[in-house]
Structure 1
Amino acid sequence: MLELLPPPPTDPLWDLTYEFGSDERPERLNLVLGVYRDQTGTTPVMAAVREAELRLARRSESKEYRGLSGNAAFNRSLLALVLGQDGPAERAAAVQTVAGSGALRLLADLVHRTRPGATVWISDPAYVNHRPIFEAAGLRVRTYGWRDAAGGFDTEGVLRELREAGRDDVVLLQGCCHNPTGVDPLLDDWEALAEAAARGGWVPFVDLAYHGLGDGLEADLLPTRMLAARVPEMLIAVSCSKNFGLYSDRVGCAIVVGSTAQAVRHAETALQNAARTLYSMPPEHGAAVVTTILQDEGLRASWSAELDVMRERIMSNRADLTAHLGALGCTEQAASLARQKGMFSMLPLTSQQMLRLRRQYAIYGTTSGRINIAGIPAHRIPCLAQGIAAVLDRPEVPRMREPAALPDRARA
């Protein structure tokens, strides 16, 4: 059987991560994976998470199954966090999932079951796993442009292309801190998207993975809440990986907003059935940590303060990189970078220039130009800027000392 399996495609992000791991140059810089790193290059455990885990350990509750929807208290807490205290809770339901990717897949299965002829529209560019998830669920995928010629959000272009979305279609929108571009719509743009959804009949599907790391928690959640109040139906995939630092605990939530309470109950059951066939029940520990934090006033305040520190470090890194690029004569690139927000930014580099950046200067980003702004140690920002300017062939850039050549085995 296995001999008949053709060579499958590999994951490009993890391929680069493995290549980085085999690179022996001490100057190497990993800006590929979307994880927050502090000044020491470590992905820290948040103090609020540590305290919540200690409390859970002292209580030492049962490890009994939670059920197909997972931790019910977690689901209630995430509904209140995402939709707000005044949100449409009476026509919404949440199911705990295996991280944000699990939420995307569960909701994709729901779309396929309820609207088997639906097309899912995703932005171009999009998060690398969006298309594979939806296609694996049996859905057709189309793309719509995201950025204009100047690198900002293309309001007119997006609205024009989405006029082709049918009444059975679903449009994926990243709620904040767009991955990979860092380019977000303004609130007026979100209003226009809500009007387009109501007029066109398509269902907004919000991927919410970076809330709290853009303009602040409440500001980052505002577009999602506005959409939920304006449209009859909506799907939301929530991840707790980034803003709680629970990457390996795989904590997420699938939220459905419907026109009636009965429709929502049916959708919740359909999500439970889909979970049963995929993984049965999600893991408990991370969800219990999030619940403990959100339901305790002191822990919630501590978490919120830590989240602000993370956001401010990301903003500082982007501002410093922008300033260094401007000083090196890369004014157009600096201006584009300055408008972006969140963990990621898209460098205006070709795949060949990104390859040069990796092989000549030991700086690892994706071939599309995405880098993790949250992963740059502050003292390495000048070197990163010089490397970018060098592959742009700016004549005014001082000759940068290149690290030793990349080992042959790491080039494979």
Structure 2
Amino acid sequence: MMLWATLYWYFHQPEPTLQVTNAASKNTPDAGKPEGEWKININREGIFKGKVVLPKLERMGLIASEESSVGVIQEETSAEGWMDMFVSRRSFWLLDPRLYLFTLSPMSQSPFPSGSPYTSRPGSPVRGGEQQRDSQLEQVSQGLWSPTGPGPFHSTSNLPTYYPPPPPQYVFSNHVRHPVRPKPPRQGETFYTRFVPSVGQYLSFRVACASSKPLRHRGPVTSQPPTPTQMIHRNSAILASESPFPIGGLTDIEYLHKWMNDPRVSYFWGEDGPQSHQEEFLRNGLASKNSFPVIGCWDGKPFGFFEIYWVKEDKVAKYLPHVGDYDRGFHCLVGEQEFRGAHRVKVWLSALVHYCLLADNRTESVMLEPRVDNGETRAIPDGCRLLQRTRDQPSAQAIQSDENPKRWFGMARPW
């Protein structure tokens, strides 16, 4: 709230010179030079030095960065990727101020009804104020709407519970103009999880991790393997438990080494070789600005590797007739034999599409592009009602499969 109020004041000040002077425009008269954006740099210091402050502000859309990679450094205190944060005037004035400003629930019979819930001067500290506020919130009327009552997304922390996508800001990558991308989740962070009754297991996706130690799965897992009856009846209840321990005992790099050296996988990916090669492959994926590497898990056990990318600035975009600013795509491989099968494929494919549609509601299409000689992956779109077309690339011929929010409801959704 303090940052928003400060920026509100700052962007009311006289506008600076917006003409950009660089090597290309240095000989151009000022009147003909390109105009840039009025941006405010946010330094990672003072109150912004905490490890969660800048990430929260970025998730809320108030600040942005052109460094849209996961990052290779694993220390949580590392400032990698968070040093060049900024706010542009164009973006700021398109943000809804209700995301950053809130009014405390007033206390009845208080002489200060304009925001203070306590019978004291506004801004003065009150001992035990947190407990008073919690008890007062329980007493507020739950009517359809009132300026003092909690709405349907009321949060006792006085913070919003949903952050809409920020206004678009554009940059150039590979000579392509595209929106500034939000930062992906952190290494090892689970960004999607769901219980699948037809399989009797929890499906989850997390960002791949370059750690030299096996990653602990801290999400829910089923307490017992699914029975044949549970495989048939989708509504069967299976107890869930937390699994804070490593499952399988391998690091993500070791899993990649194992999977990429499987002849079935290396035939299409071409990333076989010593473990150092897969480590470099993963680190390059973590440093990518338009994609991030993903590990898929069934009940916490890794089963496959995925790359989720933005199509607009990807090299594949030049071969497509039309690409939206927020269209996404993904590459996939299933490395564990026990988790192969048509039904599981439809489930995790649908879940990945679901995540892409949830991550940004401006996404109009999600693309899968298997090579034409990949018979197993080519069969996926037929069972999932994906729109298909064949296209040629310099390196291979591929099947382009598209999915949009409307068609997604006709897929084998993961529930």
The alignment's TM-score, normalised by the length of structure 1, stands at 0.24
Rg comparison, structure with higher value: 2
RCO higher in 1 or 2 (8 Å CA, sep ≥ 6)?
1
Choose between structure 1 and 2: higher helix proportion: 1
